[in-house]
Structure 1
Amino acid sequence: MSQPHLRQLLLSFNLMLLLTAAFFTTTHSVIQNLPGFNGTFPFKLQTGYIGVGESEQVQLFYYFIESERSPANDPLLLWLTGGPGCSGFSGLVYEIGPLVFDYDNSDGIIPTLVLNPYSWTKVANIIFIDQPAGTGFSYATTAEAYKSSNTLSAIHTYQFLQKWLLNHPKFLNNPLYIAGDSYSGITVPLVVNQVYGGIEAGRNPVLNLKGYILGNPLTQTYANYNGRVAYAHRMGLLSDELYQSAKENCYGYYLSVDPSNGACKDDLERVTQCLEKIRKPHILEPWCDNMWTALLLPSDEGHCAPQSEPCYRDKYALYSEKWANVKLVQEALQVAEGTITEWARCNATLTYDLDYNQTEAFTYDVKSTVDDHKSFTYKDCRALVYSGDHDMVVPHTVTEEWIKSLKLQVKNGWRPWFVDGQVAGYTTEYFHGRYELTYATVKGAGHTAPEYKPEECFHMIQRWLGHGPL
């Protein structure tokens, strides 16, 4: 037998072994209807578990929706919700998936679900994953396996994607994009690195990675929180005099200030007075005590805001927790019985805290992914990075700074992009060799952009995936 034929036989044999193992260690079910939704879904939803890690002690739960246009030809997106520890269901039902809650008609035991006319599944196949273990319906079979980190979570997510594609081989040739928002600005580049490493090592299956998508992405933890002061000044929340004084007295560093620097402390007290009643997810929304956001976002004081009447948008978050904790819902989703005690949109034991390097269950061993982005500029790779311009959780100005640090060439300079004849935001296109990066702001959007501006974000992703201008 010739050497090429022998290599092909060995590759086929190895793929068969991997495929056989994958089928034994994964489960999935097609879901045609869910409690709260009237009728049968006009799209294909699948849920399931895939075992990863040592002895597959981590069981990652996912929701998969086939493209409503052309599943065989449309791109495949792996969507990673932020947090860390926020369920993929959050991205599905609040941002880019085919279902949304009908808030005006959800007073019953089970909240009402309706179709989202701006779902990204109209142009893409999307996997929403609960990761790491302890997120959503994902679980571990041992207490030790619940402990994770940025690096380990990325490894597990790559293993998940390999096994998922082995179980769904018809999507192996679809263009693949790793996508996510918020804290996934840390997670997505780490997964992209894992995928590129697998491609270069020739690991089967060889994934057809074409690029990545990031929305409102936390990319450098310190720079992000520090950059809120400059953003607040730019948005007219701080006077020129106060900003210049703080910048000079604090030397541009507004966190962990030297206690002996009285001038800086005085300036920052005035900055806090100006910003403490500004709602960070969207600076134009009215202030209220946070129930949901306080858990998700570390405050400048390092603790959560007082709990009282939640903000109206935070009330929306409660619908998912009410819905997902109904036994009928979990049975319909084919959730493994006895694997969770209570579903939460975000697991607070995993949520990032600027003041600590880890929680009991999660170690933040990566604080910046700028170098990862720099390494991608030497790949044949497409990237879309977008930001809501009224987001003070991850200010667009901070995102623009790290993009500038990549030292890319400008293909098309800053200009408006439009939806229905109206300015939807502003965009710049960059390149370096075969690397292309499209950056876009979404006008009037907060954290995260599709939640606030679903129609504009749908047109943005449709145009970008179609390789056209925004």
Structure 2
Amino acid sequence: MASTPSLTLLLALVLPLIPLAVAAPEKHLVTHLPGFDGALPSKHYAGYITVDESNGRRLFYYLVLSERDPAADPVVLWLNGGPGCSSFDGFVYENGPFNFERGSTPGGLPKLHLNPYSWSKVSSMIYLDSPAGVGMSYSLNKSDYTTGDLKTAADAHTFLLKWFELYPEFQSNPFYISGESYAGIYIPTLADEVVKGTQKALKPKINLKDVSAACHGTFWGKVNDVCQEKIDRVRWELKDLNTYNILAPCYHHPEVQETAFVNSSLPSSFRKLGETERPFPVRKRMAGLSWPLGLPVSSGHVTLWPELGGRSLPCTSDELATIWLDDEDVRAVIHAKPKSLIGSWELNTARIDYTHDTGSMVEYHKKFTATGYRVLIYSGDHDLCIPFTGTEAWVRSLGYRVVDSWRPWHFGGQVAGYTQGYDHNLTFLTIKGSGHTVPEYKPKESLAFYTHWLFGEKI
């Protein structure tokens, strides 16, 4: 049986046009950002929306308007996974409007440069910290930090309803939900809440028009005792292997390298995998963020990254985001609460106690695709956290007929990955040389397939 996938879903919703005045809240306007010189490339807004008045539960968002035509371009909600991962991960390191560079002095405020491959080039982006306790989102009642899939989806739905009340000018724009990793559970469950809300005639009404999925997935099958013994033997043999240092060196902690890369026999093409033009190197390099073997997502308590029993992540670094988001001047201009109230920003928090309580996402996806929604499922082909082979197997488990056989897709005259199309408007796509966080590893290619898919063009 296929287990619950961790995937990225782009969910397209179109809201009915309601004759309301433009009402973007000026108190949420971001006029400038510390570390960036010059005018912002488009209007930015940020702040809190309360999803539970009695408990003081508030979710933080950062909105980047499209640099092209915000009045007509799609509005896209971005969710990072974890669970417990802040969506500033996407903003700082992946598809946000800036590339971050180390400050002039150790620990100094990072420098921000415009990102030519930001997804805000073609869409307005909402980065949401969810659930409460993650990133800048918080609750005055700490019992809210015991949560799960259903509560997270309900809160995110409340957030959306209130957000569109706050920004009625976007109610006629196509609306998508996207994300990565465990957001593959956040997003289908949120979509289910949207559908139920529409059936209850909640306002503003959200009319589900289209579903697109960019999906990281896992596939776990039942095995017999003989097979399990062999799997356990493989795990034992690999227990001392640094999976973060297989195809490329550790940029951030070179002292932990097991072999000097200069003496490696790997071909030069392998040495360049994962390199970008950004001023700060890819944090996770080729291997991606490798989830420990033997820890698939299953019903019940979900092990968070900080709970992994002291396992280190030797080739990762989140210093730039932490320095920038813990700076009180930054928090003031983006309207986030100070550290004295909500604590230090964490990429992956240990504040929450999270339960997976929704089961498999297979039925959710069958429901979406059976009613005609488009789905795009993508995966980096060097992702060791959720390998693309597992994602591909999960897609096949849906049982849909192949209508566009396995073929390469191209960018800049080169093969950028492979894709296969299924009936019910379902597409699976890989990105060559990418780890877990695809827009971080392959920013140009990511913007290319994102743009093509967003506007219904063939990839």
TM-score by length of 2: 0.78
Match of 2:349 in 1: 347
Any idea what SS the aligned residue of 1:429 has?
Answer: strand
2:180 and 2:215 in contact (8 A); partners too? yes
* Superposed displacement of residue 301, structure 1: 7.1
Q: Which among 263, 272, 277 is matched to residue 241 of structure 2? A: 277
Report which structure shows greater RCO (CA 8 Å, sep ≥6): 2
* Superposed displacement of residue 405, structure 1: 1.7
Give the length in aligned residue pairs: 395
* Superposed displacement of residue 133, structure 1: 0.6
1:118 and 1:454 in contact (8 A); partners too? yes
* Superposed displacement of residue 285, structure 1: 3.4
* Superposed displacement of residue 370, structure 1: 1.4
Assess, with a 3 A threshold, how the Cα gap between structure 1 residues 62 and 164 changes in structure 2: closer, same or farther. same
Assess, with a 3 A threshold, how the Cα gap between structure 1 residues 134 and 106 changes in structure 2: closer, same or farther. farther
Report the AA paired with residue 445 of structure 1: S
2:42 and 2:67 in contact (8 A); partners too? yes
CA displacement, residues 217-251 of structure 1 (integer Å, 9 cap, x when unaligned): 2466xx2xx79xxxxxxxxxxxxxxxxxxx87643
Match of 1:30 in 2: 29
* Superposed displacement of residue 105, structure 1: 5.5
Equivalence map 1:389-400=2 (5 Å): 389-400=381-392
Using the TM superposition, name which of 105-114 and 153-162 deviates more. Answer: 105-114
Match of 1:324 in 2: 325
Query: Residues of 1 paired with 2:53 and 2:371: CA distance?
Result: 31
Larger CA Rg, structure 1 vs 2 = 1
Match of 1:87 in 2: 86
Query: Residues of 1 paired with 2:213 and 2:91: CA distance?
Result: 16
Query: Residues of 2 paired with 1:334 and 1:463: CA distance?
Result: 34
Query: Residues of 1 paired with 2:441 and 2:166: CA distance?
Result: 35
Q: Which among 418, 421, 424 is matched to residue 416 of structure 2? A: 424
Query: Residues of 2 paired with 1:34 and 1:278: CA distance?
Result: 38
2:66 and 2:120 in contact (8 A); partners too? yes
CA displacement, residues 274-304 of structure 1 (integer Å, 9 cap, x when unaligned): 4742526x963347769x98xx865237734
1:176 and 1:209 in contact (8 A); partners too? no
Match of 1:450 in 2: 439
2:291 and 2:386 in contact (8 A); partners too? no
TM-score by length of 1: 0.77
Report the AA paired with residue 434 of structure 2: A
Any idea what SS the aligned residue of 1:377 has?
Answer: helix
* Superposed displacement of residue 329, structure 1: 1.2
Report the AA paired with residue 405 of structure 2: G
Query: Residues of 2 paired with 1:366 and 1:219: CA distance?
Result: 16
Query: Residues of 2 paired with 1:270 and 1:411: CA distance?
Result: 37
2:138 and 2:342 in contact (8 A); partners too? yes
Report the AA paired with residue 292 of structure 2: S
Any idea what SS the aligned residue of 1:49 has?
Answer: strand
* Superposed displacement of residue 139, structure 1: 0.6
CA displacement, residues 364-405 of structure 1 (integer Å, 9 cap, x when unaligned): 213421121111122231222100011121111111112112
Match of 2:140 in 1: 141
1:180 and 1:214 in contact (8 A); partners too? no
Any idea what SS the aligned residue of 1:154 has?
Answer: helix
Using the TM superposition, name which of 335-344 and 124-133 deviates more. Answer: 335-344
* Superposed displacement of residue 429, structure 1: 1.9
CA displacement, residues 141-199 of structure 1 (integer Å, 9 cap, x when unaligned): 21222221111001100110111011111111111111110111111111111112222
Report the AA paired with residue 327 of structure 2: V
Query: Residues of 2 paired with 1:102 and 1:84: CA distance?
Result: 27
Report the AA paired with residue 374 of structure 1: K
Any idea what SS the aligned residue of 2:341 has?
Answer: coil
Report the AA paired with residue 342 of structure 1: S
1:388 and 1:445 in contact (8 A); partners too? yes
Equivalence map 1:287-366=2 (5 Å): 299-300=292-293, 303-304=308-309, 307=312, 310-311=314-315, 314-315=316-317, 317-337=318-338, 338-350=340-352, 361-366=353-358
1:139 and 1:339 in contact (8 A); partners too? no
Matched, 1:410 2:402: yes
Matched, 1:374 2:366: yes
* Superposed displacement of residue 464, structure 1: 0.6
Assess, with a 3 A threshold, how the Cα gap between structure 1 residues 276 and 395 changes in structure 2: closer, same or farther. farther
1:81 and 1:181 in contact (8 A); partners too? yes
Match of 1:112 in 2: 111
Report the AA paired with residue 78 of structure 2: W
Report the AA paired with residue 53 of structure 1: D
Query: Residues of 1 paired with 2:378 and 2:242: CA distance?
Result: 22
Assess, with a 3 A threshold, how the Cα gap between structure 1 residues 368 and 34 changes in structure 2: closer, same or farther. same
Assess, with a 3 A threshold, how the Cα gap between structure 1 residues 370 and 86 changes in structure 2: closer, same or farther. same
2:406 and 2:418 in contact (8 A); partners too? yes
Please provide the CA RMSD for this pair: 3.0
Assess, with a 3 A threshold, how the Cα gap between structure 1 residues 57 and 212 changes in structure 2: closer, same or farther. farther
Query: Residues of 2 paired with 1:151 and 1:219: CA distance?
Result: 21
Assess, with a 3 A threshold, how the Cα gap between structure 1 residues 300 and 408 changes in structure 2: closer, same or farther. closer
* Superposed displacement of residue 425, structure 1: 0.4
Any idea what SS the aligned residue of 1:458 has?
Answer: helix
Query: Residues of 2 paired with 1:301 and 1:202: CA distance?
Result: 44
Any idea what SS the aligned residue of 1:425 has?
Answer: strand
Report the AA paired with residue 393 of structure 1: C
Report the AA paired with residue 355 of structure 2: T
Query: Residues of 1 paired with 2:67 and 2:105: CA distance?
Result: 26
Query: Residues of 2 paired with 1:272 and 1:36: CA distance?
Result: 46
Query: Residues of 2 paired with 1:200 and 1:397: CA distance?
Result: 37
Structure (1 or 2) with the greater helix fraction: 1
